[in-house]
Chains A and B, each alone.
Chain A
Amino acid sequence: QLQLQESGPGLVKPSETLSLTCTVSGGSIRGSSYYWGWIRQPPGKGLEWIGSIYFSGSTYYNPSLQSRVTISVDTSRNQLSLKLTSVTAADTAFYYCARHSSPSLGDLLPRFDYWGQGTLVTVSS
């Protein structure tokens, strides 16, 4: 059974960089026909897609965050990472990693089918 687990600091100071890792177990990122994405959710609010990466390193980002976001993948560790720079209180949220299919990889029904449990990151001094 595929499992995703987010990890990283729960508290980040304003103007600093938020860094999270998602470890995938029960399956391999390398060679899979899936993208791996990050989605966030401010407490009590809705979901926002941050960006996605393929094991080759190909990425897509949400234009609203693109200038501050970097998503990378480490296939040797079966992990993906998220870096968000210059954070403010507005970046306080639960951060989820999730797997999704894509028409570009041959699946015409894109959806997020596996999710991590999420991790809360609070931006505060």
Chain B
Amino acid sequence: EIVLTQSPGTLSLSPGERATLSCRASQSVSSSYLAWYQQKPGQAPRLLIYGASSRATGIPDRFSGSGSGTDFTLTISRLEPEDFAVYYCQQYGGSPLFTFGPGTKVDIK
């Protein structure tokens, strides 16, 4: 099983600041198979980034993804009030077919 670890667990920042979220895999993951989701309280997750760096439809360009192999990063260039949420990375491949990281909570400092 490919285990995803996300850090930090919680990121306390102010609006306008830059957020850098890390996702590390226990073994190499194809960049094509790495996605990021945002989840707000009481809502379903929303796809942000797929293929490690492609933004999903309607996602603002302040969200960007990068990385390869075992280390991936989600960057929010300037935090807007609506960006405070929990972020999950997800990989495809192996067994089980999909696994998710434990999440990083971005909260207001």
| Bound-complex Cα distance A47 to B35 (A) | 13
Segment at the B interface, from A15-23, A60-68, A74-82: A60-68
Q: Which residues of A contact B43 (CB under 8 A)?
A: 117
Per-residue 0/1 for B76-106: is the Cβ within 8 Å of any A Cβ (1 yes, 0 no)? Answer: 0000000000001010100111111111000
Contact of B72 with A by CB under 8 A: no
In which size bucket is the chain A interface?
20 to 34
Complex partner residue of B90 from A112, A117, A118, CB under 8 angstroms? A112
Contact of A31 with B by CB under 8 A: no
Complex partner residue of A46 from B44, B51, B92, B100, CB under 8 angstroms? B100
Interface residues of B (CB under 8 A from A): 32-33, 35, 37, 43-47, 50-51, 54, 56, 88, 90, 92, 95-103
- A18 to B: closest C-beta gap in Å: 19
Interface pair B88/A46, CB less than 8 Å apart: yes
Residue from B43, B54, B100 whose CB has the most chain A CB atoms within 10 Å: B100
Sample of 17 more A-B contacts, CB < 8 Å, known A47-B37, A63-B96, A112-B45:
A39-B98, A46-B103, A47-B90, A49-B98, A62-B96, A98-B44, A100-B98, A109-B33, A109-B54, A111-B35, A111-B50, A111-B51, A111-B90, A113-B47, A113-B50, A115-B44, A117-B44
A85-125, CB < 8 A from B: 96, 98, 100, 103, 108-113, 115-118
Complex partner residue of A115 from B33, B45, B88, B99, CB under 8 angstroms? B45
Q: Which residues of A contact B92 (CB under 8 A)?
A: 103, 110-111
Interface pair B96/A111, CB less than 8 Å apart: no
Contact of A52 with B by CB under 8 A: yes
